[in-house]
Amino acid sequence: MSNKPSRFKTTIDGRSFTIVGRKSQEHMHVVSDLVNDELTELKKVTRNLDNEERAILLAINAKSEQLEMQKKVIELEEKLKNLNE
């Protein structure tokens, strides 16, 4: 991760975006691909929703996964702490 922000141009669901951040170009490319893949899957199972509603579902899913991963990290840190004691 760089200290200097950089611009990353991508296309999400057919729309162009320029993302400014400190993550590598490779990282942002992977993130863009994942978002596009997940939106494609959501379109298949949510034909009655519009793009905004799908984007909200995608954000909810991402935050849910983040919380699960944070919980696992905390559990693993506790296990490691107990093993080191």
Q: What is the pLDDT of residues 4-61, one digit of tens each?
A: 899 999 999 999 999 999 999 999 999 999 999 999 999 999 999 999 999 999 999 9
Q: What is the pLDDT of residue 26?
A: 96
Angle between helices 25-45 and 51-84 (to 10 degrees): 120
Indicate the pTM of the whole model: 0.81
Question: What residue ranges do the domains of the chain occupy?
Answer: 6-84
Give the mean pLDDT of 67-74: 98
E strands, 13-82, are: 15-21
Q: What is the pLDDT of residue 2?
A: 58
